[in-house]
Amino acid sequence: MYHAAREKKRPAGVYPGGPQAAFYGDDYVYYQPAIEAIKPGPIQKASTIMRPIPIVDISNAGGKRVIRRIRKSQQARAGRAQAVVATVLADVGRRGDAALFAYTRKFDHVAVFAGNIRLDAAYIRDRAHDAPAAFRRSCAEAAKRIRAYHERQKPCEFVMRTREGLLSQIVRPVRRAGVYVPGGFALYPSSVLMNVIPAQIAGVREIAVATPPRGELDPGIAFALRMLGVSEVYRMGGAQAIAALAYGTRSVEAVDKIVGPGNLYVALAKKAVFGTVDIDAVAGPSEVIVLADGSANPEWVALDLLAQAEHGSGDETAFCVTEDARFAARVQSAVAAEIARSPVRPVFERLRAGALCICLASSRGKSIEFVNECAPEHLEIVTRNPRRDLAGIRNAGAVFIGPYSPVAVGDYFAGTNHVLPTGGAARFASGLGVESFVKRMSVAEISKEGLGRASAHVSVLARAEKFVHHALSVERRTGRQPAGDPA
């Protein structure tokens, strides 16, 4: 409900109430008038009413409840899709190619069979030739930067000498990796670079790419594949592609690890096959938090929010958090104005209620606390002292600091990876990198004398856990029986 006393504290241009009041349910949320009231740009007519863009006061329990409800609503569709995914996985696992081909016809409306599901190398080459020259140059430049950054991620091997012998760590790549390249609402040549280059640096010998059949192969994807020397490419998408990569069929050899972004069905399928194969993460819709103060350009902040909200699933989340109420109102107005004149306005109209949201905190410390609680996929820090604020950040997939570091630069060109943990997983997970494609193996080489020194200690510890044959395996070698405390 609305309290007049509260109104006196609101900055000009921020309004209470609105059609989404029932969703948010209290007076911790303030609204921009419907976007229809804003003069449209020359490209789009304001023919429909966009949801108001809320400003949520997160300095109190009510505002925090609102944010939790917004974030939880992102997960609502997962339950409905789970049953479909389980059926597809079980069927492909049981019937192999027959099920893979049938689901491709059903979901993608394309007839595939053993003779055409894998793309011919000559076809990929011909499609790559159709990529515009400017795209080819930019793609090559981006690949250089991605490779240079990821070369520094190579995990180390080492050898150390102890009283018992030699201990070492060796690093080995997975033999075979599957890369999923989406092909739904948007096409992602950049995902080819971000997934394949780290795998190549890690030393993965075989890389199989799956991309949904959408008519002809996109020239940009074809160019990226050819530039990187990837020739094993399959016309398959969705949960059925993940099943084929994980379980193998007559046409598709199983892989050891599956990486790459995809829609909800792809994410749920990857989650389900984990354990049969490794996966990079259960990737959800794109998300960003922009931590900003009055020094930031509100129009730039608005564009950065919309950049992550335009992926097209409708489940994206883009928050700005600030302590400056007037700046919050300016960002709110800038977002509404940008949507009104956007050539992809219908994409934003499909977003969930509150997916675009301005959060008002009581202090910088509380803003940083909010970021760490959300653990966003992307974080921008656009404040007067961004490096100082970065010191307080513990949880974020990728961080971009300063006014000239929009997420889009990292998505495409800077060199950092854009395959990042979502849905709060940045609390415990990292983005894709070279280490994602390798295994660390420990090696112990114990000398006869070293085993003699260790034997009594191993015996005591093993027998304390009642593992008799653990103890016997060293006692018989050394001829030492357990007797009191080891020296």
Residues of 91-106 as b/e, b for ≥16 C-beta within 10 angstroms?
bbbeebbebbbbbbee
Residue 62 CA: distances (Å) to CA of 24, 67, 229, 356:
9, 9, 54, 18
Do residues 305 and 290 make contact, with C-beta atoms less than 8 angstroms apart? yes
Do residues 199 and 280 make contact, with C-beta atoms less than 8 angstroms apart? no
**Catalytic residue IDs:** 377-378
Rounded Cα distance between 197 and 41, Å, is 41
Do residues 367 and 291 make contact, with C-beta atoms less than 8 angstroms apart? yes
CA 377 from centre of chain: 6
